[in-house]
Chain A
Amino acid sequence: MKEYTMVVLVKQVPDTQNLTGEAMKEDGTVNRSALPAIFNPEDLNALEMALQVREEYGGTVHVITMGPPSAVEVLKEAMYRGADRVYLLSDRKFAGSDTLATSFALKQAIQTKIPDFDIVFCGRQAIDGDTAQVGPQTAEKLDVPQLTYVESIQELGEKKIKVRKLIDNGTEIVETALPVLLTVTDTANEPRPFIAKKLLKYRKAACEFDLPKILPRYPQFKTKEELKNFLKKKGLFIEMWGLEDIKANKDDVGFAGSPTMVKKIESITLTGKGFKKIEPTDEGIAHFVAELIEDHTW
Chain B
Amino acid sequence: MASNGEVWVYAEHDWNKLQDIGIELLSKGRELADELGVKLASVIIGDKVTRHATILFEHGADKVYACEGSKLDNYDTAKYAKVLTDLTGQYKPQVVLFGASARGRDLAPRVASKLRVGLTADCTDLQIGDFKAPDGTEYKKILYQIRPAFGGNIIATIVNPNTRPQMATVREGVMPPPPSKKGKKGEIVKAIIKMQNLPNLTSILHREKTEKKVNLKASRIIVSGGYGVGSKENFAIIRNLASVLGAEVGASRAAVDAGFIEKDHQVGQTGTTVRPALYIACGISGSVQHRAGMDQSAKIVAINNDPEAPIFSIAHYGIIGDLNEVIPMLIEDIKKRRVE
Contacts and interface: CB of A to CB of B under 8 A. Distances in A.
B288 A19 contact: yes
B337 interface: yes
B48 interface: no
B314 interface: yes
Contacts of A149: 102, 106
A56 interface: no
B317 A145 contact: no
A289 B207 contact: no
A160 to B, nearest CB: 10
Contact of A146 (B77, B103, B131, B316): B77
Interface string A29-40: 110100000000
A264 to B, nearest CB: 4
Interface string B84-124: 00000000000000000111011011101110111111100
A298 B245 CA distance: 8
Interface in A266-282: 266-268, 270-273, 275-282
Nearest to B308: A270
Contact of B102 (A134, A167, A174, A273): A167
Contacts of A281: 329
B65 interface: no
Given A260-B119, A282-B333, A132 B205 contact: no
Given A278-B318, A289-B330, A129 B131 contact: no
B317 A276 contact: yes
Interface size class of B (residues with CB under 8 A): 35 or more
Contacts of A136: 77, 105-106, 109-110, 113
Contacts of A289: 330, 333-334, 337
A270 B153 CA distance: 10
From DSSP, what is the main secondary structure of chain B's interface residues? mixed
Given A132-B109, A169-B209, A263 B319 contact: no
A120 interface: no
Interface residues of A, number: 76
A259 interface: yes
Nearest to B212: A169
Given A133-B109, A259-B160, A259-B162, A168 B102 contact: yes
A267 B154 contact: yes
A270 B207 CA distance: 43
A129 B121 contact: yes
B320 interface: yes
A107 to B, nearest CB: 9
A212 interface: no
Given A100-B116, A100-B119, A275 B315 contact: yes
Interface in A247-296: 258-268, 270-273, 275-282, 284-286, 288-289, 292-293
Interface stretch (B33-41, B194-202, B227-235): B194-202
Given A145-B201, A288-B317, A261 B206 contact: no
A167 B153 contact: no
A26 interface: no
11 contacts: A17-B289, A19-B287, A100-B119, A137-B110, A140-B109, A172-B207, A260-B118, A273-B313, A275-B317, A278-B318, A284-B319
Interface of A: 14, 16-17, 19, 29-30, 32, 98-100, 103, 127-137, 139-141, 143-149, 162, 166-176, 258-268, 270-273, 275-282, 284-286, 288-289, 292-293, 297-298
